[in-house]
């Protein structure tokens, strides 16, 4: 795994091409139970290895793993010093993925993250030098500090898994995931993230202070860098691509779909809500639930999967008339809608 600034950090991942990876994944997903077994065993091991380096709760780690297995992106909110960068690096190491970090600032330009073409006089041709966006896992640090132009470039990459350079479309790699961070208490020099941009993130989690036992353990533990260097991958990139391709095959029954629709309607009918759960947000919710079912070793979604992921998937997509967090609205909708299967 390459660190930012190293020669290899800005190259397109060379493990497998996107088409080859998807073709292999489709062939292997015929044995759904084998895939579920791989997912359950490997991801259990991955959790343990991540927690050996970073103090993170299951409530935060599970939605992030769900997003990575589903091929989605994460928005991680937390004050400085709570381990957002270390968590991202640890996940990349455990997944045997390339990793880059982009520090977003007001003057960051699209070419700074995508790359640029350089004229080679001796060869009389332009050579494209890939930027830090060409990686498996990209940490977009303090994403709300950048201009709308650069943010739009990032959104294209998140939506398409590719970018447009000199009229050509270039794939960013397989797998590809953005882990973006936002500081909830520092607003100087920041910009509000538009609703359309928030919708690109499959999950939103809040990384707070660790509990007392975990924090005191950090005081006595060896260097986190040493622990990170000692980590071995728990899952290969090819296996992660396989899981990405398996998620859509997980079954959603009619009663589960009805339950999801009832919760969605409940958010739209809430008097305090200006913008409820959209159809696209609801589909994202079901995608995340499929991913969680796969991680749990099932080939079907349960209402419990939807309940567990309702807040991290939906709360950043619901907007209140007076502003503020929509967590209580989502939790209230879950309480009012009965599960009838």
Per-residue DSSP letters for 183-218?
A: -SS--TT--PPPHHHHTT-SEEEE--PPPHHHHHHH
8-state DSSP, 251: B
Is residue 233 domain-shared with residue 316, that is, in the same domain?
A: no
**How would you classify the pairing of strands 273-275 and 74-77?**
unpaired
- Examine the domain organization and report whether 287 and 180 are in the same domain: no
Q: Which of 184, 216, 247 is the last residue of a domain?
A: 247
- Number of continuous H segments (helices) and E segments (strands) in the chain: 14, 11
10 has pLDDT over 80:
no
**Entry pTM:** 0.85
Whether 136 and 190 share a structural domain: yes
Could you say which DSSP state residue 300 is in?
B
Q: What is the mean pLDDT of the chain?
A: 84
pLDDT at 99 exceeding the cut of 90: yes
179, 213, 247 - which closes a domain: 247
Q: Which two tokens stand for residue 12?
A: 């397109």
Residue 109 has pLDDT above 60, yes or no: yes
Based on the structure, what is the number of domains in the chain? 2
- Dump the DSSP string for 106-121: TT--HHHHHEEEEEET
| Cα dihedral value 16, 20, 25, 26, nearest 10 | 170
Q: How many CB atoms lie within 10 A of CB 269?
A: 11
Tokens of 145: 């500090």
User: What sign has the CA pseudo-torsion 18, 98, 233, 181?
Assistant: negative
In a domain, 10, yes or no: no
Residue 193, pLDDT score = 82
Q: Which domain holds residue 314?
A: 250-336
For 183-223, write each residue's pLDDT tens digit: 877 666 677 788 888 999 999 999 888 778 877 777 776 67
Q: d(Cα 84, Cα 77) in Å, to the nearest integer? A: 8
Residue 18's pLDDT band, with cuts at 50, 70 and 90, is: very low
Highest mean pLDDT among 36-45, 113-122, 285-294 belongs to 285-294
Instruction: Assign 14 a pLDDT band (cuts: 50, 70, 90).
Output: very low
**Which of 247, 263, 283 is the endpoint of a domain?**
247
């Amino acid at each position: 795994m390459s660190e930012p600034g190293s020669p290899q950090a800005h190259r397109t991942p060379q493990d497998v091409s996107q088409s080859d990876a998807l073709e292999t994944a489709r062939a292997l997903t015929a044995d759904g139970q084998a895939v579920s077994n791989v997912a359950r065993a490997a991801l259990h091991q991955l959790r343990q290895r991540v927690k050996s380096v970073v103090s993170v709760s299951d409530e935060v780690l599970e939605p992030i793993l769900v997003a990575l297995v589903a091929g989605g992106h994460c928005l991680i909110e937390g004050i400085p010093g709570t381990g957002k960068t270390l968590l991202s690096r640890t996940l990349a190491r455990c997944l045997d993925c390339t990793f880059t970090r982009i520090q977003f600032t007001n003057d960051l330009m699209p070419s700074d993250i995508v790359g640029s073409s350089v004229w080679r006089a001796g060869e009389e041709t332009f050579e494209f030098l890939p930027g830090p966006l060409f990686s498996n896992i990209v940490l977009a640090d303090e994403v709300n500090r950048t201009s709308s132009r650069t943010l739009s470039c990032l959104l294209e990459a998140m939506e398409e898994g590719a970018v447009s350079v000199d009229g050509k479309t270039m794939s960013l790699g397989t797998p590809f995931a953005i882990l973006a961070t936002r500081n909830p208490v520092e607003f100087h020099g920041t910009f509000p993230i538009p609703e359309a941009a928030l919708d690109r993130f499959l999950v939103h989690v809040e990384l707070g202070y660790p509990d007392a036992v975990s924090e005191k353990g950090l005081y006595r533990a060896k260097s986190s860098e040493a622990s990170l260097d000692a980590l071995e991958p728990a899952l290969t990139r090819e296996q992660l691509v396989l899981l990405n391709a398996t998620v859509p095959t997980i079954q959603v029954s009619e009663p589960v779909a009805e339950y999801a629709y009832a919760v969605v309607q409940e958010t739209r009918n809430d008097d305090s809500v200006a913008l409820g759960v959209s159809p696209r947000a609801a589909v994202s919710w079901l995608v995340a639930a499929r991913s969680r079912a796969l991680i749990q070793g099932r080939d079907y979604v349960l209402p419990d999967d939807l309940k567990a992921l309702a807040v991290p998937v939906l709360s950043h997509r619901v907007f209140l008339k007076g502003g503020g967090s929509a967590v209580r609205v989502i939790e209230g909708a879950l309480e009012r809608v009965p599960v009838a299967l």
